[in-house]
Structure 1
Amino acid sequence: MSQKQGKPADRLNAIANHLDPTKKDEALEKSEWKDMIDQINWRKNNNRTANPNDHGYIRQKAQGKLWVRERIDEFVDKKSFLEFGSIAGKAKYNPDGSVKEYTPANFIAGKATVNNRSIIIAADDFSIRGGHADGSVYGKSIMAEQTARNLKIPLVRLIDGSSGGGSVTTMLDTGYTYIPPLKGMHTIIGSLSEIPVATASLGPAVGLGAARATLAHFSVVAEDIGSLFAAGPPVVANATFETVTKKSLGGALLHTSNGTFDNLAKNEQDCFNQIRQFLSYLPNNAYELPPIDTTTKDPIDRRDDALLDIIPRRRQRPYQVRDIITRVVDEGTWFEIGSRWGDGAVCGLAKVGGLPIGIITFDGSLQGNVLTSNSCHKFRRHIDLCDTFGLPIIDFADYAGFAIGIKAEREATIRYGSTLTAALYQSDVPYFTVILRKVFGVAGAAFVDNRDPNWRVAWPSTDSGSLPLEGGIYAAYRRELDAAGDKRNELYENLLSKFEAVRSPIRTAEAFDIPEMIDPRDTRPVLCEWVKLVYENVLPHRVAQRKTHGPRIPYRP
């Protein structure tokens, strides 16, 4: 439903048509429960109908935002939403028991389908009390989380507000303050090891709302209306004396460049599209196989001639690794996660032969293929995602090693690198490496030598060893080079030429350190065959084992 279609008048007409007064429910008219059912229906209709004169609703529309029920209608399959807590709200009563004042709950939850798959959807209504946890929100939020985990189906949160405690004015109503609780957090954290969780920030995500926005496997923010911060500008001004706006404090561009959010979206509809696509690669839960696309028409034996020269012969020249990915995977299935952060780390999901996979690689045009603390952290998160939901990992390897120097040491690069290495070795999801160019040192080894056996093939552009040859020559022959004086460069070039022949990957393959050298055009057929084999022979046993023993390692957000 578009904003135009979702105008209050249209919604009132829809309700009027549904409750056609000319069609009397004779059975209800005769029922002794008629008065109770009338009250239930009145509350349901009140909750589901926008009040065009309400200042919160007016503010929502003035900011260019969809109303909460319009969002649900836009995201889920038509007529699939089954709400729970449909009459929840706050009521004040007259002495005779009639309703004096009624405010709907500002949190909507229920079961729905997206692309014919069942999900639980939970959405904040910022138009009522800024999304604070009054008006029956607390219990509804917890039930949404618990229901998704219990039914073993994905959970989608549409964040717009604090989604947590009330404002300080609540103390005046209750007459006391309280020790802040985190009820339901065990479920929120536990769900990450069992079911896919995706969030969209469609307004300010503050406090617990910020936590709920980021405690997920995939988070996306609408550039035009989304933001996130631990506390808003007024609280920041009082605590740190900083004068900030929502955008400068926690705008969408800021938080997609530091990894707080995974992806940036143009608007709300783009958020919905990205979540739909993300979920299309994942199973309903960690105890099922990922969904197989039987409609793909991309031939598994397709060979793309452009792959032959996509990596330049001269090693110093960059190339675009995403061009390799899109030419190898099923057409139109590459879905990148976290493209705006990670210092060159490239992570995403795709399909080969209709089978979902996870992909990790490196954009050497940005960082020279050295791993920073940020890139290590990004890789680790993606490996954990694939391991949790049984997505075979394809590694297009081009890693020159961990970053070195003062900045790298200050950023604890080796600590983050060790955590990444642990994640690679702890995960037991099938893993296949296509060596594109550089594989050096501990970092390179961690990416290509973490399984028994190590399934890997190499392109002719492969360049590997304990450290890059150029720097290694300077280290090994430093005394001779320093003594060469004016002939230093000539000596260096002579030494380099002696090593050129032995650095050929063909010699490495002759020693069977590379199981197979391939023509780059054969990459897709090789991967399609391997992924098919693991889906048929490995993943079913892995799923069966998880049903019995559960995930070996809890998901770490």
Structure 2
Amino acid sequence: MTNAQDWEATLDDLHRRREHARAMGGPERLAKHREQGKLDARARIDRLLDPGTFRELGTLVGGEVAADAIVAGSGRINGSPVMVGAEDFTTMAGSIGPGGNSKRYRIAELALRDKIPLVMLLDGAGFRPTGAHYGRTPTDLLAQTQCSGRVPTVAAVLGPSAGHGALVAPVCDFRIMSHRGAIFTAGPPVVKESTGEDVSKEDLGGPDVALASGVVHNVADDDEAVLAAIRRYLAYFPPSAWSYPPSLPAGEAAGPRPTPELLDIVSRDNRRIYDMRAVLDVVFDRPDWFEVQPKFGPAIICALAHLGGHPVAVIANQPKVLAGSIDADAADKAAHFIMVADSFHLPIVFLADNPGMLPGSRSERHGVLRAGARMFAAQTVATTLKLHLTLRKAYGFGSMVMSLIGFDNQVATFAYPGATMGAMSAAALSRASHAGEDLSVRLRNAELQASYRSAEHMGFDELIDPRETRDALLGALQRGLHSRQAAPKPVTRTAIVP
């Protein structure tokens, strides 16, 4: 008998065990899962990763419980390595057992060790009632939290996600769900038993609820669309905080160009609304920029884009919503986005056009000052490259949170001629002070000259023609990138965020 023949029985046994794990919950459960329009855990990983790059770890964890209900390993997205874990709902409802918990910890540990992104695909019921719980077991959330600000982290909610498993999502930088997803502290049966409330999973934590609460950032139609969005999102980021964002290849990067279209998009009359998204379409390399959290706090647009081929984060007021006034949700959204961008060294482009923070009793009850202070702290302590442009107006604290503070270490500050600024608008000041008609006219005229007076005292680096917008921002960005003459490292936070 040859040495190879000696191995046959052992390798047959390994093959049988692997096949058991790869069969997941078996044909019937897999068929039922797919009938709901969902991909199974392994199909999700195959769709997410570059073809043929998945390398599984912990395949035999769980013994008779196939892979202990979570498929985990490494692969590549857009050619770059990532760690990935996918809960398998067809096996014990994707619940977390002792071995699965250790696998979850391990992939987060490896993501940080190897300085690569971590992606979690959620579709599970939380800890098993009979399984190991926190106690002395290694809890995956500890390792995942240690990844925060060091490697990009993404969670996708692709089915019901409850209990401990649901906590994975809000700890991640970016959260996205499908229309078949739901996320909650405890599912409907537990809610019924605990509180007497009879509620469906959709009403408890479906997409509408999760978007309104801010627990998830984006929603896509189905598994395929969610996984495609994750690939797009990660394309803007470096693998870790020890790297800078990768620029597009020279052949794909758009160069300088005038932007005469902005004269038609941005009305000179401050009272006329326009869609800031149209400005982004013109200014950045191509109109397929990626918006984060479009349905939450829509008075601010948070987006990932390319400028001259370089990834940037965009914070832009939206005049179509609340006339651009910044409410608590918009400020909270922007603060988180700023911290993520800063953590991974994405330059931030601020496009300001707002009349200030949203006033009123409802706004105050929602904590607009706390949220505004959080956004202000986030942008003030940000160490990445910052560029600012005031298009038409920026008043009071609303200007400060949008990085309109002179000599605040910005790479560049620009404004359009005629841009108005100050503590409040001339109209609001006239009403507040009961000014007569003559004084109101003088206040309005002074307001219209504000950009020139500011420019005379170096309040901006330059007043620019709207047709120069892209070229001015691109030139400033290219200059600012030359400051990167040392190896990047994780950001040290220097403020307690309100």
TM (norm. structure 1) is 0.84
Count how many residue pairs are aligned between Structure 1 and Structure 2. Answer: 494
Partner residue of 1:84? 57
Partner residue of 1:57? 30
Question: Is the 1:133–1:166 contact (alpha carbons within 8 Å) kept by the matching residues of 2?
Answer: yes
Q: What are the superposed Cα offsets for residues 312-353 of structure 1, whole Å, 9 maximum, x if unpaired?
A: 122211011110011000114411000001141110110111
Q: Within 5 A, what are the aligned runs for 1:440-519? A: 440-447=395-402, 448-449=404-405, 451-454=407-410, 455-476=412-433, 478=434, 491-492=436-437, 494-503=438-447, 504=449, 505-519=451-465
Partner residue of 2:149? 193
Partner residue of 1:205? 161
Matched residue SS, 1:260: coil
Partner residue of 1:110? 73
Question: Is the 1:103–1:135 contact (alpha carbons within 8 Å) kept by the matching residues of 2?
Answer: no
Question: Is the 2:342–2:384 contact (alpha carbons within 8 Å) kept by the matching residues of 1?
Answer: yes
Q: How many Å apart are 1:103 and its aligned residue?
A: 4.1
Partner residue of 2:300? 345
CA gap of 1:457–1:103, structure 2 versus 1, over 3 A, is: closer
Between the aligned partners of 1:28 and 1:233, the Cα distance in structure 2 is: 57
Between the aligned partners of 2:4 and 2:357, the Cα distance in structure 1 is: 76
Between the aligned partners of 1:311 and 1:333, the Cα distance in structure 2 is: 20
Between the aligned partners of 1:356 and 1:391, the Cα distance in structure 2 is: 6
Matched residue SS, 2:442: helix
Question: Is the 1:289–1:540 contact (alpha carbons within 8 Å) kept by the matching residues of 2?
Answer: no
Q: Within 5 A, what are the aligned runs for 1:347-386? A: 347-386=302-341
Q: What are the superposed Cα offsets for residues 341-382 of structure 1, whole Å, 9 maximum, x if unpaired?
A: 114111011011110111001112111222221111111001
CA gap of 1:389–1:443, structure 2 versus 1, over 3 A, is: same
Q: How many Å apart are 1:201 and its aligned residue?
A: 0.8
Question: Is the 2:155–2:175 contact (alpha carbons within 8 Å) kept by the matching residues of 1?
Answer: yes
1:321 aligns with 2:321: no
Between the aligned partners of 1:142 and 1:211, the Cα distance in structure 2 is: 14
Between the aligned partners of 2:9 and 2:212, the Cα distance in structure 1 is: 56
Between the aligned partners of 1:282 and 1:418, the Cα distance in structure 2 is: 27
Q: How many Å apart are 1:302 and its aligned residue?
A: 1.2
Q: How many Å apart are 1:41 and its aligned residue?
A: 1.5
CA gap of 1:246–1:329, structure 2 versus 1, over 3 A, is: same
Q: Which amino acid aligns with 1:141?
A: R
1:30 aligns with 2:2: no
1:539 aligns with 2:460: no
Q: Within 5 A, what are the aligned runs for 1:263-342? A: 263-297=218-252, 299-342=254-297
Q: Which amino acid aligns with 1:464?
A: M
Which of residues 348, 354, 371 is equivalent to 1:393? 348
Q: What are the superposed Cα offsets for residues 491-540 of structure 1, whole Å, 9 maximum, x if unpaired?
A: 43x333223332222333233322211111111111111222222x2234
Q: How many Å apart are 1:304 and its aligned residue?
A: 2.5
Q: Which segments of 5 or more consecutive residues in structure 2 lack a partner in the other structure? A: none
Q: Within 5 A, what are the aligned runs for 1:143-182? A: 143-162=106-125, 164-167=126-129, 170=130
Q: Which amino acid aligns with 2:176?
A: V
Matched residue SS, 1:502: helix
CA gap of 1:387–1:316, structure 2 versus 1, over 3 A, is: same
Q: How many Å apart are 1:297 and its aligned residue?
A: 4.3
Which of residues 477, 482, 492 is equivalent to 1:551? 492
1:236 aligns with 2:191: yes
Which of residues 24, 43, 57 is equivalent to 2:17? 43
Partner residue of 1:3? none
CA gap of 1:532–1:311, structure 2 versus 1, over 3 A, is: same
Q: How many Å apart are 1:89 and its aligned residue?
A: 2.6
Matched residue SS, 2:159: strand
Matched residue SS, 2:34: helix
CA gap of 1:180–1:348, structure 2 versus 1, over 3 A, is: farther
Question: Is the 2:24–2:91 contact (alpha carbons within 8 Å) kept by the matching residues of 1?
Answer: no
Q: What are the superposed Cα offsets for residues 420-464 of structure 1, whole Å, 9 maximum, x if unpaired?
A: 211121111111101112211123123211753442111135111
Q: How many Å apart are 1:188 and its aligned residue?
A: 1.1
Between the aligned partners of 1:258 and 1:232, the Cα distance in structure 2 is: 17
Between the aligned partners of 1:113 and 1:27, the Cα distance in structure 2 is: 39
Provide the identity percentage.
27
Q: What are the superposed Cα offsets for residues 83-141 of structure 1, whole Å, 9 maximum, x if unpaired?
A: 111222334xxxxxxxxxx6442101111011111101111000011111127311111
Matched residue SS, 2:346: coil
Question: Is the 2:406–2:459 contact (alpha carbons within 8 Å) kept by the matching residues of 1?
Answer: no
Partner residue of 1:7? none
Q: Which amino acid aligns with 2:337?
A: H
Partner residue of 2:208? 253
Matched residue SS, 1:113: strand
Question: Is the 1:355–1:532 contact (alpha carbons within 8 Å) kept by the matching residues of 2?
Answer: no
CA gap of 1:178–1:407, structure 2 versus 1, over 3 A, is: closer
Q: Which amino acid aligns with 2:475?
A: E
Between the aligned partners of 1:402 and 1:180, the Cα distance in structure 2 is: 47
Between the aligned partners of 2:82 and 2:155, the Cα distance in structure 1 is: 13
CA gap of 1:299–1:291, structure 2 versus 1, over 3 A, is: closer
When Rg is computed on C-alpha atoms for both structures, the one with the higher figure is: 1
CA gap of 1:417–1:87, structure 2 versus 1, over 3 A, is: same
TM (norm. structure 2) is 0.93
Question: Is the 1:311–1:461 contact (alpha carbons within 8 Å) kept by the matching residues of 2?
Answer: no
Between the aligned partners of 2:429 and 2:264, the Cα distance in structure 1 is: 28
CA gap of 1:351–1:255, structure 2 versus 1, over 3 A, is: same
Between the aligned partners of 2:98 and 2:355, the Cα distance in structure 1 is: 55
Q: Which amino acid aligns with 2:128?
A: G
Q: Which segments of 5 or more consecutive residues in structure 1 lack a partner in the other structure? A: 1-25, 92-101, 482-490
Q: How many Å apart are 1:178 and its aligned residue?
A: 7.9
Between the aligned partners of 1:531 and 1:178, the Cα distance in structure 2 is: 47
1:137 aligns with 2:100: yes
Larger deviation: 336-345 or 102-111? 102-111
Q: What are the superposed Cα offsets for residues 357-414 of structure 1, whole Å, 9 maximum, x if unpaired?
A: 1100111211122222111111100110111000110000112222222112222211
CA gap of 1:499–1:51, structure 2 versus 1, over 3 A, is: closer
Q: How many Å apart are 1:37 and its aligned residue?
A: 2.2
Q: How many Å apart are 1:210 and its aligned residue?
A: 1.3
CA gap of 1:104–1:193, structure 2 versus 1, over 3 A, is: closer
Question: Is the 2:293–2:302 contact (alpha carbons within 8 Å) kept by the matching residues of 1?
Answer: yes
Q: How many Å apart are 1:265 and its aligned residue?
A: 0.5
Matched residue SS, 1:368: helix
Q: What are the superposed Cα offsets for residues 222-268 of structure 1, whole Å, 9 maximum, x if unpaired?
A: 01x11111100111112222111111111112212331111110111
Which of residues 514, 522, 526 is equivalent to 2:468? 522
CA gap of 1:342–1:539, structure 2 versus 1, over 3 A, is: farther
